């Protein structure tokens, strides 16, 4: 599998002709759950989003990113505020206490979707053998591989803070020093 090419988000010159898919971890910096801890890269990703919008670049939303965002948002709130009362996440999700969390997450997603064009995930066109081989070998995360395949297939650049995003043959924009070092 081909290595990715990483660009430093803070030094990147965006253009109108580019299309970007923001990973769930980036959306969690931009639209964090109320109980989320202060994260070190918030300002850099916020400035990056602003630069993309000023340049007129297209932002894409993929259903897998949306799913990861919503599930992570809810689990962060559960662990921070509700895990003692609801030791099982599913029991929390079915409780009245979840409504505030669910409404907060849904509100954030509505704001995110105003910035993006929704595109169907091209699962039928993915090289699933390659994705499953990487997963089975323990070298790649299944969802990450699907996102990389989607970006490669469409020529999109991925904005991520995930240091594991080293393979896929795509361009990534990041502020993560480990990813920048691994994909020069």
pLDDT of residue 21: 98
Burial class (CB in 10 A: 0-12, 13-18, 19+), 121: middle
By residue count, the chain amounts to 184
Structural domains of the chain, ranges and CATH numbers in brackets: 5-182 (3.40.50.1010)
Q: Is 26 within 8 Å of 161 (Cβ atoms)?
A: yes
Average pLDDT taken over every residue of the chain: 94
Give pLDDT, residue 122.
85
pLDDT > 70 in the chain, percent? 99
Per-residue model confidence (pLDDT) at position 127: 86
**Residue 37 clears pLDDT 80, i.e. is over it:** no
Beta strands in 45-98 (DSSP E): 58-61
Least Cα distance to 166 among 145, 151, 137 occurs for 145
pTM for this prediction = 0.94
Q: Band the pLDDT of 114: cuts 50, 70, 90.
A: very high
């Amino acid at each position: 599998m081909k290595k990715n090419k990483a660009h430093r988000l803070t030094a990147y010159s965006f253009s109108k002709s580019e299309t970007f898919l923001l990973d769930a971890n980036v959306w969690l910096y931009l639209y964090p759950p109320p109980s989320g801890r202060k994260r070190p890269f918030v300002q850099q990703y916020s400035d990056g989003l602003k630069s993309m919008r000023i340049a007129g670049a297209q932002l894409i939303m993929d259903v897998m990113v949306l799913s990861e965002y919503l599930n992570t948002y809810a689990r962060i709130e559960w662990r921070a505020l509700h895990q003692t009362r609801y030791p099982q996440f599913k029991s929390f999700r079915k409780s009245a206490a979840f409504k505030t969390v669910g409404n907060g997450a849904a509100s954030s997603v509505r704001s995110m979707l105003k910035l993006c064009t929704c595109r169907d995930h091209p699962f039928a066109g993915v090289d699933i053998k390659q994705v499953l081989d990487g997963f089975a070998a323990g070298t790649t995360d299944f969802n990450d591989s699907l996102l990389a395949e989607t970006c490669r297939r469409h020529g999109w650049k991925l904005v991520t803070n995930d240091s594991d995003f080293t393979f896929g043959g795509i361009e990534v924009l990041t502020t993560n020093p480990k990813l920048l070092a691994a994909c020069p």
